[in-house]
Amino acid sequence: MNIDLLLPLIGIPIVVLGFALRFNPLLVVTLAGLVTGLAVGMDFLAVLETFGEKFMNSRQLASSLLILPVIGLLERHGLKERAQAWVASIRVASTGRILMLYFVVREVSAALGLLSLGGHAQTVRPLLAPMAEGAASNRHGELPPHIRDRIAAHAAACDNVALFFGEDIFIAFGAVLLMTAFLKENGITNVEPLAIGLWAIPTALCALVIHLFRLSRLDASIARQIHEWQQGLNGQAGSKP
Amino acid sequence: MTSIISIDLVFYLIGVIVMLVAGMTLRDASNPKRYTTAAFWFLFGSSFLFGDLMIMYLGKPMTYRVVGLIVLIIAGIAGANLLGAGTKPDDGVAARRKSAERLGNRLFIPALAIPLITVFLTLFGKELMVGGIHFLDQKNLTLTSLALACIGAIAIGQRITGSSPVVAIRESRRLVDAIGWALILPQMLAMLGGVFVAAKTGTSIQAIVNLFVDPQSRFALVTIYCLSMAAFTMIMGNAFAAFPVMTAGIALPFLILQHHGDPAPIVAIGMFAGYCGTLMTPMAANFNIVPAALLELKDKYQVIKIQIPTALCVLACNIFLMYFLAFP
């Protein structure tokens, strides 16, 4: 195996090890970039220039900062508490059902191109996660931190999975245009964006079925975990002299 | 300038928010690491406030070097564990419950206004012209729409809650403190992706994957294409970066040209195989790590852990779907 072929890969073990050993990710990623650049013979200034260029040209990734003032203001005035109280007034609401409903709405609206209708800063943190937690605490009382975290993580996962497998059905989405452009460049000119959008539907349906199946079992799993946690507490209390 | 609300304006707005956060941090005696934390946010904010000015006066190569240096310092501050948070003056749950009761469902209006205004502007704002020039940046429609939606939501929020803008900024600082370095990670990863592209990491991966290719077995080819899309996406954190490399390396020569597969399902499902990788990697920070920070989860990898079972099942489905749909 040619060493020149392996050198560009040196960043990968650095990232994997650094993340696994839980060093600060900013440091790990920067080091991986620096080492990779130097390993393939770029000089330090060239690496620095690549860093700066890519950092500047990806500033749109920090756009969740725009949403923080609104969310902060509303949370200060009890948005989370209101979301939980509102869910409590709906008798059939449960964590699993709320997430399932959100999942379907999010995937269908993404397929229609309405990508900004959800998102982690705008809907998951202020609305979805508090509602999903609220529904669980209505049934089980105050939630232990690990259950709260699990429900919140499920809310975020719900948004990701629904968005990813819905958006490619929408023919004006960047990924579909990228695929069409790639095929054209490589001499395959008879594929329309519509065809790619249509062939995205089977996977989108699979993702829908698989994730809804998991969410349909979530309520029972939460109840079981809370039961175990309470037993653990009682056991501790009982063992005290 | 070709539009009234341009992307530059949005970056200035982000820069102002970050600078206010940095200023408040500097004055916060309850944060034991307030100087380094303030420096961290000041450096980050300056790439938004002064970045375009520097390009104008120093030219691109010099600006990029300066920003590159800023990035190294930011990573150093975070890596040396010099990022701290203030102890927040909290009114407590009781006060928030009372306020929630007083305001009722009106509290939802500004929160819902953000997605609704954004979607409305992206759908109907594109053609809007004021005095012969476009109102919204045509190339960054979603982002400019989002910025306007946030300003609108803040205005509505101020009216409903009757509090001053200072509260919004103070609360932003609380959130920024809680999220911390994760806010910057997506840009750092884009940067690493840039170095990988410059170093031709993709070509190396393609060469290694090709060692495992058996051009005769159609099912093995489909499996390798899907798995390598997922794996390379996990490394790059982005399926768009993996797609051209893996598709040109495996799908095009073997699946499409040699085995005469239908290109549309191959590329559509191949891209989805990449998305399965996106669900499983910390490198896709804005989907997997930033939310964990936003939700203040103890384990920053918990969102990924929850997504792995779905991602693996969908990946397996993709292999079979491609095998049966692309080769009828």
Q: d(Cα A16, Cα A13) in Å, to the nearest integer?
A: 5
Q: Are the beta carbons of B51 and A59 separated by less than 8 Å?
A: yes
Longest dimension (CA), chain B: 71
Are residues A208 and A196 part of one domain? yes
Q: How far is CA A47 from the centre of its chain?
A: 30
pLDDT exceeds cutoff 60 at B142? yes
Are residues A215 and A103 part of one domain? yes
pLDDT exceeds cutoff 60 at B1? no
Q: What is the mean pLDDT of residues B73-95?
A: 82
pLDDT exceeds cutoff 50 at B273? yes
- What lies within 8 Å, CB to CB, of A91 at 6+ separation is none
In-domain check, residue A88 = yes
Are residues A185 and A74 part of one domain? yes
Residue B129: count of CB within 10 angstroms of its CB: 10
pLDDT exceeds cutoff 90 at B134? no
**ipTM at complex level:** 0.89
Q: Which of A82-91, A147-156, B85-94, B230-239 has the lowest mean pLDDT?
A: B85-94
Split at pLDDT 50, 70, 90, the class of B236 is: confident
Q: d(Cα A180, Cα A172) in Å, to the nearest integer?
A: 11
Whether A177 and A193 have beta carbons less than 8 Å apart is answered as yes
Q: What is the mean pLDDT of residues B11-38?
A: 92
| Per-residue pLDDT at B89 | 61
Q: Are the beta carbons of A48 and B98 separated by less than 8 Å?
A: no
Are residues A132 and A50 part of one domain? no
Are residues A82 and A56 part of one domain? no
Share above pLDDT 70 across residues of chain B, in percent, rounded to a whole number: 98
Closest Cβ opposite residue B194 in set A50, A154, A159: A50
Instruction: For residue range B41-51, list pLDDT tens digits in order.
Output: 999 999 999 98
A73, closest residue in chain B (CA to CA)? B168
Residue B238 C-alpha, separation from nearest chain A C-alpha, in angstroms: 11
Instruction: For residue range A101-147, list pLDDT tens digits in order.
Output: 999 999 999 988 888 888 898 899 999 999 999 999 988 988 999 99
Question: To which residue do tokens 């949005």 refer?
Answer: B10
Are residues A11 and A98 part of one domain? no
Q: What is the mean pLDDT of residues B202-212?
A: 84
Are residues A91 and A49 part of one domain? no
Q: d(Cα A67, Cα B111) in Å, to the nearest integer?
A: 10
Q: d(Cα A16, Cα A32) in Å, to the nearest integer?
A: 10
What are the residue ranges of helices labelled H in chain B? 7-26, 34-49, 51-58, 60-79, 92-103, 108-124, 141-161, 165-179, 185-198, 201-210, 218-236, 239-246, 263-278, 285-294, 302-325
List A residues 34-73 in contact with B (Cβ-Cβ < 8 A): 36-37, 39-40, 42, 45, 47-73
Which run of H or of E encompasses A224?
helix A218-239
In-domain check, residue A138 = yes
List B residues 249-268 in contact with A (Cβ-Cβ < 8 A): 252, 256, 263-265, 267-268
Whether B244 and A181 have beta carbons less than 8 Å apart is answered as no
Most B CBs within 10 A among A67, A86, A216, hence the mutation to make, goes to A67
Q: d(Cα A184, Cα A172) in Å, to the nearest integer?
A: 16
| Per-residue pLDDT at B30 | 84
In-domain check, residue A215 = yes
Q: Does B33 touch chain A (CB under 8 A)?
A: no
Number of domains forming the structure of chain A: 2
Higher pLDDT, B100 or A47: A47
| Per-residue pLDDT at A34 | 94
A128, closest residue in chain B (CA to CA)? B295
Are residues A26 and A101 part of one domain? no
Q: Does B37 touch chain A (CB under 8 A)?
A: no
Residue B129 C-alpha, separation from nearest chain A C-alpha, in angstroms: 23
Q: Domains of chain B: which residue ranges?
A: 1-183, 200-325
| Per-residue pLDDT at A149 | 96
Which residue segment(s) compose the domain that A169 sits in?
63-235
| Per-residue pLDDT at A240 | 47
Residue A240 C-alpha, separation from nearest chain B C-alpha, in angstroms: 29
Query: CA separation (Å) from B227 to A201, B252, B305?
Result: 20, 16, 19
Instruction: For residue range A161-191, list pLDDT tens digits in order.
Output: 999 999 888 876 778 888 888 888 888 888 8
Are residues A133 and A43 part of one domain? no
Instruction: Output the average pLDDT for chain B.
Output: 89
Instruction: For residue range B164-173, list pLDDT tens digits in order.
Output: 888 888 889 8
Instruction: For residue range B209-223, list pLDDT tens digits in order.
Output: 888 888 888 999 999
List B residues 60-119 in contact with A (Cβ-Cβ < 8 A): 60-61, 63-72, 74-76, 78-79, 81, 91, 93, 96-101, 103-105, 107-108, 110-111, 114-115, 118-119
**Hey, what are A192's tokens?**
């329309």
Q: What is the mean pLDDT of residues B310-319?
A: 97
Are residues A113 and A19 part of one domain? no
Split at pLDDT 50, 70, 90, the class of A236 is: low
Are residues A89 and A208 part of one domain? yes
* Residues of chain A contacting B71 with CB distance shorter than 8 Å: 30, 51-52, 55
- What lies within 8 Å, CB to CB, of A149 at 6+ separation is B295, B297, B298, B299, B302
Q: d(Cα A115, Cα A118) in Å, to the nearest integer?
A: 7
Q: Does B215 touch chain A (CB under 8 A)?
A: no
- What lies within 8 Å, CB to CB, of B127 at 6+ separation is none
Q: d(Cα A206, Cα A134) in Å, to the nearest integer?
A: 29
**Hey, what are A214's tokens?**
């998991």
Burial label for B328, CB within 10 Å (0-12, 13-18, 19+), is exposed
Are residues A27 and A81 part of one domain? no
Q: Which of A61, A92, A110 marks a domain boundary?
A: A61
Question: What predicted TM-score, i.e. pTM, was given to this entire model?
Answer: 0.88
pLDDT exceeds cutoff 80 at B91? no
Q: Does B315 touch chain A (CB under 8 A)?
A: no
Closest Cβ opposite residue B268 in set A67, A120, A179: A179
Q: Which of B249, B239, B296 is nearest to B272 (CA)?
A: B239
Q: Which of A91-100, A121-130, A228-237, B34-43 has the lowest mean pLDDT?
A: A228-237
Instruction: Tally A–B CB contacts below 8 A.
Output: 424
pLDDT exceeds cutoff 50 at B225? yes
Q: Which of A14, A65, A115, A179 is nearest to B141 (CA)?
A: A115
In-domain check, residue A241 = no
Q: Three-class SS of residue B280?
A: coil
